[in-house]
Amino acid sequence: MSVAAVQKEVHVNAHPSDQLMRAERLPHILCPGCGIGSVIHCYVDAVAASGIPVNRHVCVSGIGCSGRAAGYVNVDSYHTTHGRSVPFALGIAVYNPELHVTVISGDGDLTSIGGNHFIHAARRSVSLLVLCINNFNYGMTGGQAGPTTPLSALSSTTPFGCWERPFNLPHLAHAVGASYVARWTVLHVRQLRNSILRGMQKEGFRFIEILSPCPTGFGRPNDIGDGLMEMQNYLRRCEVRNEPHLHDIDIDLTHADSPIIVGDFVDIDRPSFRPIISGPVPETRPAEAWAMVKATQIKEEPNGK
């Protein structure tokens, strides 16, 4: 670096996103090359741009590397149990519809252990924005295969290659009722930030799949290389298509030249789930009425027993 460049160097005491981050939790625990930090940055940037008061944003996460997100953002946040981020978030969103609830979690937490919660929250059109960081494995617990591990991919539980067909998450989310569906990678930070912002503006169940490197758990056994090399892979293979046939956008990592389709796939209007959680209390049945019911039941039993 030249002397002139050093003289022009500007030192700042704060980052524009500092108010939305819990600086006391830094440095983070994520592995070098992991993409989760980029997702968190896109989320807080979208929060700042949303125009929604910060005290009306809520971030919920489950267990796993992605589940750490809730601990780093400076909004009301909840780090829940494994697979239960969606039902926990559902309770918050239904009880207080004024809140904007975002779930940030991983592919295993959301669509394996929490898969049942995921499909029914989408079916009910619960007002949730779900950011699924898909790194193709259970990274934190040892690199085991998960519901999105590609066919033939190696993991600690599939040493001879995965033989189970993985989920096509955008297709699944659309099929069960999501009003907004998108897929990006951590390389597409600008598109991802705009997609999260769009999701915050919509009603119903909104879903964004975010492909992220996991050099430690998935990249190493599959000879993908470090995080930078996987990002170069995204740069080479990703194609933006906003209206693809969703059943055709499986991710095929076995063929190095097959495209990875990303884009804003679904954007429709669907009202949010608004259950009746309060209303007129039915009259209590008097004790005499209960006594008559019990007497009738005894009389109708065979042989007077």
State how far the Cα of 214 lies from the Cα of 109, in Å rounded to an integer: 16
What are the beta bridge partners of residue 260?
238
pTM: 0.87
| pLDDT of the chain, 305 residues: tens digit per residue | 555 555 677 777 787 788 999 988 888 889 999 999 999 999 999 999 999 999 999 999 999 999 899 999 999 999 999 999 999 999 999 999 999 999 999 999 999 999 999 999 999 999 999 999 999 999 988 999 999 999 999 999 999 999 999 999 999 999 999 999 999 999 999 999 999 999 999 999 999 999 999 999 999 999 988 989 999 999 999 999 988 999 999 998 777 789 999 999 999 999 999 887 666 666 667 777 767 666 666 665 555 44
According to the model, what pLDDT value does residue 296 have? 64
| 263 contacts 182 by C-beta, under 8 angstroms | yes
Cβ-based neighbours of 39, under 8 Å, separated by 6 or more: 66, 69, 104, 131, 133, 186, 192, 210, 212
Which pLDDT score is estimated for 298? 60
One DSSP character per residue, 68-96 reads GHHHHBSSEEEE--TT-HHHHHHHHHHH-
**Which amino acid belongs to residue 242?**
N
